[in-house]
Amino acid sequence: MTQAGTCCGFLCRKKKAEQTMEDRKIPVHVAIIMDGNGRWAKKRGMPRTFGHSQGAKTVEQILEDADELGIRYLTVYAFSTENWARPAAEVKALMNLLRRYMKTALVKCTKNNVRVRVIGDKSRLAPDLQEAIAALEQETASNTGIGFQIAINYGGRDEIVRAVRRACEKGLLSDPDAIDGDILDSCLDTAGIPDPDLLIRTCGEQRISNFLLWQLAYSELYFTDKAWPDFDRKELEKAIDAYNHRERRYGGLL
């Protein structure tokens, strides 16, 4: 029989785990380069597109996990401005997956109080996909839960070029002395969203691949060998643990 004040085994361990979770600093904004769908599928003798559909399931789960962990913004890289260079059949499959995802998300994100924003140049997407995105963004715009940004036809350089164009159109660049980072910030696709605290890239590559070039200036970078379809809550928590061991100095001294 367990006496008061002595270790009670499982329950004690569980409590300790909960305490560790509570003690952890949760990043406000996590960005993810979801990489490795194709390699994951190939390893299993399946077509690359199977990896993409598994990857889509992982996104849904990680969004829920991120929300439960108290992350306020999650941004995922779904399709880059460079991904059009892939074989037409793969691009088509990815676009169809995105179409399907927008429909599922409309129901799920409305129910779960998630606010969705698609970042990237939407003008090159098929009209029906643009409409589905607009519907999802409008439907969830006043939700107050986690902010979920999906990067589609997104490139960091392209976003900066479009931001400068937008700033020009708004007449914000007429006085060179008045141009500052805040002007550019306010014209980016991510306007109003804090910069990512933590960037995660899956499946071993250690590069940015044109993701959030402006916003990642002081983000902590975390790379894992896990392919995206195998990424789960445990892996997300591991990344958060690593983040908790980083010293963020922003060029100053601690």
Locate 24 and state its tokens. 């952890």
CA nearest to 101, candidates 59, 39, 156, 49: 59
Residues 185-208 as b or e (16 or more Cβ within 10 Å = b): bebbbbeebebbbbbbbbbeeeeb
Please state, in angstroms and rounded to a whole number, the distance separating the CA atoms of residues 79 and 91.
Answer: 9
Cα dihedral 129, 135, 137, 139 in deg (nearest 10): -160
Nearer to ligand IPE, 157 or 207 (CB): 207
Binding Mg ion (rule: CB under 5 A), the pick from 33, 35, 167, 211 is 35
- Note if 230 is an active site residue: no
Chain residues that interact with ligand IPE, rule: CB under 6 A: 33-39, 77-80, 83, 94, 203, 205, 207, 209
Nearer to Mg ion, 35 or 220 (CB): 35
Please state, in angstroms and rounded to a whole number, the distance separating the CA atoms of residues 62 and 244.
Answer: 19
- Collapsed DSSP state (helix, strand, coil) of residue 112: coil
Catalytic residue, chosen from 23, 65, 67, 83, is 83
Q: Which of ligand IPE, Mg ion, none is residue 202 near (CB under 5 to 8 Å by kind)?
A: none
Q: Which of ligand IPE, Mg ion, none is residue 33 near (CB under 5 to 8 Å by kind)?
A: ligand IPE
Nearer to ligand IPE, 73 or 228 (CB): 228
- Note if 35 is an active site residue: yes
- Residue 158 binds to Mg ion (criterion: CB under 5 A): no
Please state, in angstroms and rounded to a whole number, the distance separating the CA atoms of residues 98 and 105.
Answer: 10
Nearer to Mg ion, 117 or 201 (CB): 201
Residue with the shortest CB distance to ligand IPE: 38
For the bound state, the minimum distance from the C-beta of residue 80 to ligand IPE, rounded and expressed in Å, comes to 4
How many positions of this chain bind Mg ion (CB under 5 A)? 1
Which one of the spans 32-40, 97-105, 171-179, 228-236 is the region binding Mg ion (CB under 5 A)?
32-40
Please state, in angstroms and rounded to a whole number, the distance separating the CA atoms of residues 66 and 32.
Answer: 12
Task: Please identify every residue annotated as catalytic.
Answer: 35, 83
